[in-house]
Amino acid sequence: MAFGHQSFRRRIINNLDYLFKDTWYPEVLSIFTAWIALATLLFLLGYYFNTTPFTWHSLTLNTWVSIFSTIMKSLLLFTVSACLSQWMYISFSQRKSRLLDFNMYDGASRGLNGSFGLLWGTKFRSIASIGAVITISSLAIDPFVQQVIGLGHIEMSSNTTSISLATKYAKGMQHRLGGSGPSVNIMPTIDFSMQSAITTGLSASERNIQQQVNFKCPSSQCAWTPFLTLGVCSSCNDVSSKLFRREIGAFRNQLLQGALFDFNAPKNLTAQQPFADFELPNGLHLQDYENFTIDMVTFSTSDWNQTITFQHNDTLLWALTVIKRVSKAYPANLNDFFALECGLSYCVQNISALVANSTVLEDSTMLLSKQDGISNLPQTLEVNDNSRTSLWKPNEASQIPDLQLTSNDTKFNVTYASISSIATFLNTTFVMPGDRNLGATGFFMSSLPKVIVPGPAGQNNSTDINKDGQGPEFQPTVMQQLYNTPNITQTFEVLAKSMSINMRNNDDNHTVQFGTISVTVYKVRWGWITLPILSLLVGTVFLVLTMWFSRTKGAPLWKSSALAVLKVGHRIGDVFKDEDAIGAMERRAQHVHVELGKENGALLSDSATCFEVMSGKENEVEKEGGEDEHLVRVSPGLEQKGASGYSIPRFSWESDRKHA
């Protein structure tokens, strides 16, 4: 029983030994496993594409990809090396080849130097060149695989990412102080945050204003798809072309703007000499009088009928018309003045927002919208909308309907209390005490004015009154900012943005727009995986070709066995018996041709020189005192045939006579 078990075990060992040593099974298994490793690598790349980076037991995706690519490369080179070794015997089957080629194929199976030598020696005319190319190109597999994985960013929807928008603004109040009907006394009160937004918008930069919008962004970058919001839009138009000059004669009881605006001059002074008056169609004008140099006058109103370019804007909140002196020349002409009209209107904005490194970036576009005549108007109150020329009037009853805008089938609402309170504050901001005087609601005078003192006719009766060195004069205080700003249009744009952001931050419905968050993910550069795939594919083809040629040429399946090399070397005799250096042996091998002979063929044939060959006499290895039974007896007979009829393959060689 024990003997049968040992016999079965011996048969298994012998079969496995045959399978792994005398067949192509190891190479086929290696190339198959290499394909599995490559498939696993591709699966990992596809599975984790556009996913967040991970670490499992300190192993990242790059580590796993490197592991499987190394497995694939090692198995590929193992297979290619075996095939190149086999080509030593395929090349010497059925034809004579230089003995030096044997060394060339053997070197190619060992690494890069031999592969380059094979390509140089065969000039790509041998199929074995395929294996040499694979061996050389394998140097680039690892760098190529390392380039496959990169990091990128994608936008993912997130409920934690939000930015404010406005659908209804209802901040601000109206207080009824007394009276009823037409004589009702109403005092609007603006929301403090809106008051602050208006003041800040007139002095701060657009960049600082933009950062005041409420948003949530849990990462370094967030984005939102374009959304609609209620806001305030600005528009400025150059009306210099509408400015005209009018000559005013002396002693016509024409009050002087300079005298009225100046803080210290008598207020009832009239023109003592002719002067020019520069006027706009809405009544705003600037007097060019020698003794008083007025640099800027403004006119503010919420009535679109009193504007030049906003007469058809029924959502107008506030308008400001400006005449500004650009030259100190006297007497002045039309080219010495610049006229501009800017307006603030309630509007619907289309906004694209982005947060990058905690900085908000927005791009807004004003959309066309229509005003609905009534919103929450009581049924008992009738309002003739066609008779209105302003969204707000002082002391107007709070039953006036809210402003409701519609854009893209979305409704937006501003309560009348909000409209009234904001307009009242803008009136306080842009209109000097006493309302409109001599066509203006605001002025700025930078030069020290001279006052006309009555005296004898023909004398120069002007004297400087600002001897104490006081600065320029202006009313209201916002005129200082408007005069000193290099770009009034930009100032109004920033003001509108500041008011819009405040309306969004204080939306009555607390509406927000959810956005996307920027997430760092794996990106796969698929082009870099081409070389590993191509190398493995060509390696598989090379294995199939090698197996086919080995079979058709009848070459022994010795591959890289060192024993097979010794076997061949023993049979060709002492070709290199007189050469001790490698260079000498290579020079000798270059002129010696060897062929894997046919069965029962001559072992050696020499057409040029007779080499001393071992005789047929057996050479025995003996130990002193007798023969050791564990030592193998080598008998290199010329024609050695066993009882089974098996003939040992022969090698023949010949030396090129002309190179002998």
Instruction: Answer yes or no: are the C-beta atoms of 494 and 210 closer than 8 Å.
Output: no
Measured distance CA(234)–CA(583) in Å, rounded: 91
Residue 516 lies in a domain: no
369 and 490 in one domain? yes
In the block, residue with structure tokens 């065969």: 122
Encode pLDDT of 99-150 as tens digits. 667 777 777 888 888 888 888 888 888 888 898 999 999 999 999 998 999 9
Q: What is the mean pLDDT of the chain?
A: 79
> Mean of the pLDDT values across residues 333-358?
93
| Identity at 488, one-letter amino acid code | I
Instruction: Answer yes or no: are the C-beta atoms of 540 and 24 closer than 8 Å.
Output: no
Residue span of the structural domain in which 548 resides: 2-149+525-560
> Mean of the pLDDT values across residues 221-226?
91
Measured distance CA(88)–CA(99) in Å, rounded: 10
In the block, residue with structure tokens 């997430």: 519
Q: Does the structure show a pLDDT above 70 at 529? A: yes
457 and 320 in one domain? yes
What pLDDT is recorded for position 109? 83
357 and 468 in one domain? yes
Cα distances (angstroms) measured from residue 206 to each of 194, 365, 392, 488, 658: 17, 16, 28, 13, 94
Instruction: Answer yes or no: are the C-beta atoms of 147 and 140 closer than 8 Å.
Output: no
Instruction: Answer yes or no: are the C-beta atoms of 204 and 494 closer than 8 Å.
Output: yes
Non-local CB neighbours of 274 within 8 Å, separated by 6+ positions: 247, 248, 249, 250
Evaluated on CA atoms 105, 107, 111, 112, the torsion sign reads: negative
Measured distance CA(642)–CA(512) in Å, rounded: 96
Q: Does the structure show a pLDDT above 60 at 643? A: no
Encode pLDDT of 407-419 as tens digits. 888 899 999 889 9
Side-chain half-sphere CA neighbours of 27 within 13 A: 27
- Three-state DSSP at 165 gives coil
Q: Which residue has the higher pLDDT, 470 or 132?
A: 132
Among residues 321, 312, 652, 281, the alpha carbon closest in space to that of 482 is found at: 321
| Identity at 307, one-letter amino acid code | T
357 and 239 in one domain? yes
Q: What is the DSSP string of 85-112?
A: HHHHHHHTBSS-EEHHHHHHHHHHTT-H
In the block, residue with structure tokens 């609905």: 372
Instruction: Answer yes or no: are the C-beta atoms of 167 and 408 closer than 8 Å.
Output: no
Q: How far apart are the first and last CA of the chain?
A: 65
Residue 514 lies in a domain: no
Encode pLDDT of 589-632 as tens digits. 676 776 665 443 333 334 333 333 333 333 333 334 444 433 33
Among residues 191, 90, 104, 126, the alpha carbon closest in space to that of 551 is found at: 90
Residue 520 lies in a domain: no
Phi, psi of 367 (to 5 degrees): -100, 150
272 and 392 in one domain? yes
Instruction: Answer yes or no: are the C-beta atoms of 596 and 89 closer than 8 Å.
Output: yes
Domain boundary among 482, 509, 536: 509
What pLDDT is recorded for position 19? 66
Instruction: Answer yes or no: are the C-beta atoms of 652 and 597 closer than 8 Å.
Output: yes
601 and 465 in one domain? no
474 and 386 in one domain? yes
> Mean of the pLDDT values across residues 157-171?
92
Which helix (H) or strand (E) covers residue 371, if one does?
strand 370-372
Cα distances (angstroms) measured from residue 379 to each of 137, 373, 391, 392, 415: 87, 13, 20, 21, 17
What pLDDT is recorded for position 10? 74
Residue 471 lies in a domain: yes
365 and 248 in one domain? yes
617 and 470 in one domain? no
Q: Which residues pair with 231 in a beta bridge?
A: 347
E strands, 534-628, in order? 592-596
Whether the model clears a pTM of 0.75, i.e. scores above it, the answer is no
626 and 550 in one domain? no
Residue 253 lies in a domain: yes
Residue 604 lies in a domain: yes
Q: Does the structure show a pLDDT above 60 at 555? A: yes
Residue 571 lies in a domain: no
**Angle between helix 128-137 and helix 61-91 axes, rounded to 10 deg:** 150
447 and 399 in one domain? yes
380 and 418 in one domain? yes
Residue 566 lies in a domain: no
Q: Find out whether the peptide bond into 476 is cis, omega within 30 degrees of 0.
A: yes
Q: Does the structure show a pLDDT above 50 at 460? A: no
What pLDDT is recorded for position 615? 33
- Three-state DSSP at 573 gives coil
What pLDDT is recorded for position 21? 72
- Report CA 227 to chain centroid distance, whole Å: 22
Q: Which residue has the higher pLDDT, 380 or 580?
A: 580
E strands, 167-309, in order? 168-169, 173-178, 185-189, 215-216, 221-238, 244-248, 275-279, 285-288, 296-301
Least confident of 429-443, 479-493, 507-521: 429-443
Which range, 139-153, 231-245, 509-523, has the best average confidence (pLDDT)?
231-245
What pLDDT is recorded for position 114? 83
Number of domains in the chain: 3
In the block, residue with structure tokens 């008598």: 266
Among residues 53, 31, 55, 35, the alpha carbon closest in space to that of 43 is found at: 35
E strands, 430-526, in order? 442-445, 450-452, 462-464, 473-475, 512-524
- Tally of residues, the chain: 660
3-state secondary structure 23-59: CCHHHHHHHHHHHHHHHHHHHHHHHCCCCCCCEECCE
Cα distances (angstroms) measured from residue 624 to each of 619, 627, 629: 15, 8, 13
